[in-house]
Structure 1
Amino acid sequence: MSVDLSEAIKKLQRMGGITQTGVLDIRTRELMQKPRCGVKDPVGEEEGGRKKRYVLAPSKWDHTDLTYRIENYTPDLPWQEVRRVIADAFKVWSDVTDLTFTEVMNTKADIMIKFASKYHKDGYPFDGKGLILAHAFFPGKDKGGDTHFDEDEKWTINSNGEGVDLFMVAAHEFGHALGLSHSNEPKALMYPWYQGYIPDFQLPYDDTLGIQVIYGGKGPYVTFRPPARTTRRPNTGGYSTLAPPRKAPIDPCKGNFDAIAVIRSEVFIFIGKYFWRSREPKTILSSEPSTIHDFWYGLPDNVESIDAAFEHPTNRRIYFFSGNRYWIYDGNSLSNGHPGSGKPITDFGIPQDIEKIDAVFVWGFNKRIYLISNDMYWKFKESDEYIEPDYPRDMSIWKNVPIPVDTAFKFQDNTYFLKGKEMYKFYDMKMRVALNWPKSIEDFLGCGDRFSVRKYDSKNSPEKIVKKNSASRRGGSAFGSILVLVCLICIGLSSI
Structure 2
Amino acid sequence: MELLLLWIPVLGSLMLVEVLWTLPIDQDLLPKPEDVELAEGYLRRFYNLNPRSRGKMSERRIRSTSAMEEKIREMQNFFGLRETGRLDRHTLDVMKEPRCGVPDVESFSFYPEKPKWKNHTITYMIAKYTPDMKREDVEKSFRSALKMWSDAAPLRFIKDNHGKADILFSFARRTHGDFFPFDGPGGVLAHAFQPGEGMGGDVHFDEDETWTTGKTTPGYSLFSVAAHELGHSLGLSHSRDPSAIMYPNYRSQSSTQYSLSKDDVLGIQTLYGKSTIKVETAAPKKCDPNFSFDAAVLIGNEIVFFKNRYMWMRTTWTTYWNRLRESHSSTYLPSISSHVDAAYDIPAKGVAYIFTGHKYWVVQQLKTKSHAGSIHEYGFSSSVRQVDAAVHVSEYGKTVFFVGEFYYRYDERRRRMDPGFPRLIQTDWPGIPRKVDAAFKLDGSIFLFGGTKSYQYDFRQNRMVKIISANSWLGC
Question: What is the TM-score of this pair, normalised by structure 1?
Answer: 0.51
SS in 2 for 1:376: helix
Residue 197 of structure 1: aligned partner: 254
Identify which of 242, 245, 267 aligns with 1:210: 267
Deviation for aligned residue 1:210: 1.9
Larger Rg: 1
Structure 2 partner of 1:490: none
Per-residue CA deviation, residues 253-311 of structure 1 (Å, 9 max, x unaligned), is xxx9989xxxxxxxxxxxx779xxxxxxxxxxxxxxxx98449xxxx988999614275
Unaligned runs of 5+ in 2: 1-62, 287-294, 306-313, 319-323, 327-331, 333-339, 355-360, 382-386, 431-457, 467-476
> Residues 423 and 102 (structure 1 numbering): CA distance in 2 closer, same or farther, change over 3 Å?
closer
- Secondary structure at the aligned position of 1:10 is classed as helix
Residue of 42, 45, 48 corresponding to 2:105: 42
Structure 1 residue ranges without an equivalent (≥5): 44-54, 233-255, 260-271, 275-290, 312-317, 328-339, 355-372, 378-393, 397-402, 453-496
Does 2:168 align with 1:112?
Answer: yes
Q: Which residue of 2 aligns with 1:309?
A: 346
Amino acid at match of 1:16: F
Greater strand proportion: 2
Distance 2:408 2:129 in 1: 52
- Within 5 A, what are the aligned runs for 1:69-468? 69-159=125-215, 161-195=217-251, 196-199=253-256, 201-218=258-275, 293-294=316-317, 307-309=344-346, 311=348, 318-323=349-354, 324-327=361-364, 340-341=365-366, 343-346=368-371, 350-351=372-373, 354=374, 373=375, 375-377=376-378, 394=379, 433=419, 445-447=460-462
The residue matched to 1:67 in structure 2 has which SS? strand
Q: 1:293 to 1:19 in 2, by over 3 A?
A: farther
- Determine if the alignment matches structure 1 residue 9 to structure 2 residue 72: yes
**Aligned partner of residue 162 in structure 1, secondary structure:** coil
Task: For 1:451 and 1:229, locate their aligned partners in 2 and report how far apart those are by CA, in whole Å.
Answer: 31
C-alpha distance after superposition, 1:49-85 (max 9, x if no partner)? xxxxxx9963222323322221211111111221232
Tell me the secondary structure at the aligned position of residue 74 of structure 1.
coil
**Distance (Å, rounded) in 1 between the aligned partners of 2:121 and 2:343:** 51
> Per-residue deviation at 1:199?
0.6
SS at match of 1:95: helix
What amino acid is the match of 1:101?
A: F
Change (3 A) 1:422 1:146: closer
Give the whole-Å Cα distance in 1 for the aligned partners of 2:258 and 2:408.
38
TM-score, normalised relative to structure 2 = 0.53
Shift of 1:395: 6.2
Cα separation, 1, equivalents of 2:76 and 2:325: 34
**Equivalent residue number for residue 471 of structure 2:** none
Contact preservation (8 Å) 2:129, 2:138: yes
Shift of 1:98: 3.5
Per-residue Cα deviation, 1:464-492 (whole angstroms, up to 9, x for no partner)? xxxxxxxxxxxxxxxxxxxxxxxxxxxxx
Cα distance, 1:211–1:319 mapped onto 2, change above 3 Å: closer
Measured in 1, the distance between the counterparts of 2:368 and 2:395 equals: 27
CA distance in 2, matches of 1:451, 1:64: 57
Per the alignment, do residues 322 and 116 of structure 1 end up closer, same or farther by CA in structure 2, a change over 3 Å counting? Answer: same
User: Does the 8 A contact of 1:205 with 1:226 survive in 2?
Assistant: no
Q: What CA deviation, in whole Å up to 9, does each residue of 1:188-224 have, x standing for no partner?
A: 21111122333164433322222222223336xx9x9
Measured on the aligned residues, the alpha-carbon RMSD in Å equals 5.0
Distance in 2 (CA, whole Å) between partners of 1:411 and 1:325 is: 21
Percent identity reads: 33
Can you list the C-alpha shifts for 1:441-471, whole angstroms capped at 9, x where unaligned? 89972347x989xxxxxxxxxxxxxxxxxxx
Distance 1:188 1:91 in 2: 16
Aligned length: 317
1:201-254 CA-to-partner distances (Å, cap 9, x unmatched) read 4433322222222223336xx9x9997999x9xxxxxxxxxxxxxxxxxxxxxx
Q: In structure 2, what is the Cα distance between the partners aligned to 1:86 and 1:257? A: 35
Measured in 1, the distance between the counterparts of 2:369 and 2:92 equals: 28
